[in-house]
Amino acid sequence: MTNPLLTKSTLPNFLKITPQDIKSAIQTVLYDYRKIIETILKENNTFNWNNLCQPLEEENNKLLRVWSPISHLNMVKNSTELREVYDHCLPILLKFNTWLGQHTGLYQAYKSIQNSHKFNELSKAKRKSIQNTLRDFELSGINLSIEKKQRYTEITIQIAKLKTKFNNNILDSTMSWAKFVKNKDQITGIPENTLLTAKELAKSKGKNGWLFTLDMPSYISIMKYADNSKLRKEIYYAYNTRASDKGLNVSKWDNSKIMDHILTLRYELAQLLGFNNFAEKSLTTKMAESPKHVLDFLTNLAKRTYNQGKNELIELTKFVEYKYKINKIEPWDLSYYSEKQKQYKFSIDNEQLRAYFPEERVINGLFKIINKIYGLTIKECYNVEIWHPDVRFFEIYNEYGDLYGSFYLDLYVRNNKHGGAWMNYYTSRLKYSDGNEQKPVVYLICNFNKPIGDKPSLLTHDEVITLFHEFGHGLHHLLTQINISDVSGINGVPLDAIELPSQFMENWCWEPEALNLISCHYKTGESLPKSILNNMLSSKNYQSAIFILRQLEFSLFDFRLHTEYLPKNNKQILSILKSVKRQISVIPSPKWSRFPNTFSHIFSGGYAAGYYSYLWSEVLASDAFSLFKDKGILNRTIGLSFLKNILSRGGSEEPMVLFERFRGRKPKLDAMLKSYGINE
């Protein structure tokens, strides 16, 4: 029990975990888990929640408490040693999960509870947990022959290994590229904040100049503001050919064959389970009823958005032609000239705005908004073991002083940390058989520039939105009142509803009443001037149709790929992408772009045949927020209703039932179109 992964501590002992601890902890917890299952099945003739489901919930929780810190460190503190042990343990864990999902005795035991006359006496959460478990047995191949079960296991292990390799290739190819600039004339237009970071990075490498990377803050800043078109093209090329057969270190970290292999295995897996394609399998756990349902939704949204998107690009092209005498906008020039047009139309400069969003003001303002809407209080704790000195830790309490849960906040970009932003969890809410209750603990991860010298971290408004988005995910997991871990927090929530709380939270970033709480000048403390605020709000829907069409491009590409893919055909990935672009894209894209090679959402994340969930959930989120727009954006009554009917229920009921309970009707697409200023 000296193993830091096997202690009963409330929080992970990140600094004490060693590679040796990881291997032995996984072996121990899986051995105990198997033993508990054998004992339960041997000692009971009839089964109920207390003698089957509850003890297995607790054993699964032990496993998650071991694996979560390991997989988390692999994302935020990647190293050669950690990769090796992670790669060693992953197939062991997957074999166990497959054994569990194909255990006939367990399946029959759960079946007997569902078929008993006492099933309907169970709570909604317990019934939903059992129903989900039986569905998952079937999706794990419980009804397959022995040979097919074995093949199922092989496929799941291979896919998991490929997904890990896919992610590592992105990280390695991103970290391998850097651009050193000596001449100041080559970097005009780039904001001071980015230049300070680049100068510090160059200094750390013993160089006098500026060192730019492909990390998101650096990349976006250059694409939007660098006057040097050659520099923009060079960095655009490097970014859009990462982990591919193009660009730097060609083929060293190429994900092309990995993607094909993943798709082939997913197709085989779907066929093995009796589905026509992987998209059909994917939808068995989602709100959408069929592939046609999804494609109709996306196609309809594309039709209602396309003309405005086309006109937005025409308007930009005319602006560039008139103002800069340029007839053709290259892909690497699009963000730059869009930013110029935005400044011209709205007198708004995102870098100027950055000065009004110092990190601490944004975080404190976010907590105040949460307090006003839900009556919750968030307190920082300092004596907590963390994986990096920049990480912070907070606890969240209700108005009576009861602890809901806690969260880690890791905001800054750094080496060996995967890019992007996400929320994940260490524990879910769970009531043990002895009456004790486990509180949820989550990780909130972003990749913003860190403070430099005495200058605080200054966020762009887009980064503020990202923080609010991830915090929405965090609230969904933390504020649950469901004590069954299978369906508490984000667990058991269909993927196409999982983005509702996160996209819902983004709306406050555009409301004057909320902006007053999250903004002030980092030097003077001055509020966001009314003229700047008005210009910012006027720019809210700038190129909104182009944005939606871009999301539709990702969604259709993903869904068609998992619907149409056939292993016998060659080069389907780029051909399907090309077909989708012809259908709905208004943005130019070079032939050498390899964006699929870094599309981690669908190739290494959980969004395969599910990326449409962002747009699907956006319909729910926009419609939910429209009630706040009508009644007041800080309305406590409406806030408590959202908390009671959506956030607190986790996956214990169907999301459409929960939405209708909150809104009083089914969601309407019009609320989303109105929110984005789409004029059909």
**Collapsed DSSP state (helix, strand, coil) of residue 329:** coil
**What is the C-alpha separation between 29 and 34, in angstroms, rounded?**
9
What secondary structure letter does DSSP report for 452?
B
Length of the chain: 680
Residue 321 a catalytic site member: no
In DSSP terms, which residues pair with 179 in a beta bridge? Answer: 212
- DSSP H helices in 241-390: 256-272, 278-282, 291-324, 334-346, 350-354, 359-374
470, 499, 553, 653: the active-site residue = 470
Instruction: Categorise residue 361: left if φ over 0, alpha if ψ from -120 to 50, beta otherwise.
Output: alpha
**What is the C-alpha separation between 495 and 609, in angstroms, rounded?**
10
**What is the C-alpha separation between 351 and 336, in angstroms, rounded?**
13
User: Which amino acid appears at position 107 of this protein?
Assistant: Y
Q: What does the angle CA 207 – CA 213 – CA 216 come to, to the nearest 5 degrees?
A: 145
b or e along 38-54 (b: 16 or more beta carbons within 10 Å of the residue's beta carbon)? eebeeeeeebbbeebbb
Tokens 């929530």 locate to 493
Distance of CA 160 to the CA centre of its chain: 18
Tokens 């051995």 locate to 31
Contact 462, 620 (CB under 8 A): no
DSSP string, 279-294: HHHHGGGSS--SHHHH
Query: Dihedrals φ, ψ of 398, to 5°?
Result: -85, 180
**What is the C-alpha separation between 30 and 480, in angstroms, rounded?**
28
Instruction: Categorise residue 325: left if φ over 0, alpha if ψ from -120 to 50, beta otherwise.
Output: left
Distance of CA 318 to the CA centre of its chain: 36
| Number of Cβ within a 10 Å radius of residue 79 | 13
b or e along 420-452 (b: 16 or more beta carbons within 10 Å of the residue's beta carbon)? ebebbbbbbbbbeeeeeebbbbbbbbbbbbeee
Q: List, by residue number, the catalytic residues.
A: 470
